[in-house]
Amino acid sequence: MPALDVRDIRKRYGSIVAVDGVSLSVNPGEMTGLLGPNGAGKTTTVSVICGLVRPDHGEVLIGGRHLQHDDDPVKRHIGLVPQDFALYEEMKAQDNLELFGALYGLAGKQLQDAIHRCLDLVGLSDRRNDLVSTFSGGMKRRLNLAAALVHDPDLLLLDEPTVGVDPQSRNAIFENLEGLKRAGKALVYTTHYMEEAERLCDRIVIIDHGKLIASDSTQNLFRLLPSANVLALELEHLPEQNGWRALSEVPGVKSVELRGTELFLGLTDLSEAAPGVLAWLAEHGIRYHHVSSERASLETVFLSLTGRSLRD
């Protein structure tokens, strides 16, 4: 049973359509990236999932159960990491976690153990008695994550959890998330940083203007591109005439371009097409002294699917 099952949700604010028929499903131990530019409807989708916004249409199932009302115990299965630092900066880290744990009914030793576990996980145990206002941006992000984990949810919703974070803290957060995935948590990771989604997510859901554009594994999304990889060869000398153009007939080659002495080949699948390309070059006596390959990014996928850049 999926930890999260979102079915055709729609939400309008007046004349503005925020979400228009988004569906997605996340299994335990899986991380799904919810991608789209700013204003695409990612945050509204997350708000609908955790019951903050009532959808005009569609349904959300958490572990197979509908979320009925504000104090529905189903909410205990959800952990939300909001985009903002949703922390009381005038309070200590420990006090913040005590509060958020109590909101989910934790108390006494159970609460203290949970706080200990979460602070350990995010590497802030030694700062537990410090005011949050004294924390760096990266530390606040990590505590923001800990606050969502204190009640040990099955489903974690992360809304742009690395905005404004230094590389060191970002890597620490990534390691935390990979650990949670291994521990069987289902994660929904909302971001417009494609490289983060590529690194972390098993599945990608792309939305734009509230509509679902694509939903598949990262691998399969790349296959939607005419060229998922580019193979670049630095030739020893310019080939005679235009015989090199025949490379486009090699299986898996989608495009061929010569710039000076560099040959660029667009391939649908590197492992399938590269051997054929190299064999063709050897057969036609075209020698090269350097080969490199570059994979297309999710940015390219988004561009290909929507005709515009993610950061537009």
Partner 1 sequence: MNTYAFFALVRKDLRLFFTDKRSLMMSFAAPIAIASFFGFVLGGPTDRKASRIPVWIVDQDQSGLSKKITDQLANDSGLELRSGDLALARAEVQSGKARVAVIISSGFGERAGRAMFGAGEKPALELLYDPSRSPEAQMVKGILTGAIMQQVGKEVFGGETGRVFLDDSKKWIDQATLPEQDKSILRDLFRSVERWNQRTDTAGAAQPGPAAMQTPYDLKEEAVAAPGVKYNSFAHSFTGMGVQFILFMGIEAGVSILLQRQRGLWKRLRAAPISRATLLGSRSLSAAICALIILAVLFSFAWLVFDVRVEGSFAGFIGVALAFALMTSSFGLLIASFGKTPEATRPLAIFATLVMVMLGGSWVPSFLFPEWLQKATLAVPTRWAVDGLNGMTWRGLGLDQAIMPMIMLAGFSLLFGAIAIRRFRWEVD
Strand-pair partners of 78: 155
Task: Write down the least CB distance from residue 41 to partner 1, Å.
Answer: 15
Beta-bridged to residue 233, according to DSSP, are: 263, 291
* CB closer to partner 1, 98 vs 208: 98
* Least separation in angstroms between CB 1 and partner 1: 21
Minimum distance from residue 105 beta carbon to partner 1 (Å): 6
CB of 280 to partner 1, least distance (A): 57
- Minimum gap (Å) between residue 206 Cβ and partner 1: 24
Minimum distance, C-beta of residue 184 to partner 1, in the bound complex (Å): 21
Q: Which residues bind partner 1 (CB under 8 A)?
A: 47, 50-54, 69-76, 78, 80, 82-88, 90-91, 95, 98-100, 102-107, 147-148
Alpha-carbon distance 264 to 262, whole Å? 7
Beta strands across the sheet bearing 229-235: 253-259, 262-267, 229-235, 288-295
- Of 100 and 244, CB closest to partner 1: 100
Q: How many helices (H) and strands (E) does the chain have?
A: 9, 14
Q: How far, CA to CA in Å, does 288 sit from each of 238, 249, 269?
A: 10, 20, 21
**Which CB, 70 or 126, lies closer to partner 1?**
70
Q: Identity (one letter) of the amino acid at 235? A: L
CA–CA gap between residue 205 and residue 42 (Å, rounded): 10
- Minimum Å gap between C-beta 63 and partner 1 is 14
Q: How far apart are alpha carbons 9 and 173 in whole angstroms?
A: 30
d(CA 257, CA 267): 12
59 or 89, CB closer to partner 1?
89
Number of Cβ within a 10 Å radius of residue 312: 10
Question: Which one, 33 or 51, has the nearer CB to partner 1?
Answer: 51
Closer of 104 and 280 to partner 1 (Cβ): 104
DSSP one-letter code for 297: P
Nearer of residues 103 and 246 to partner 1, judged by Cβ: 103
Q: How far apart are CA 109 and CA 116, in angstroms?
A: 10
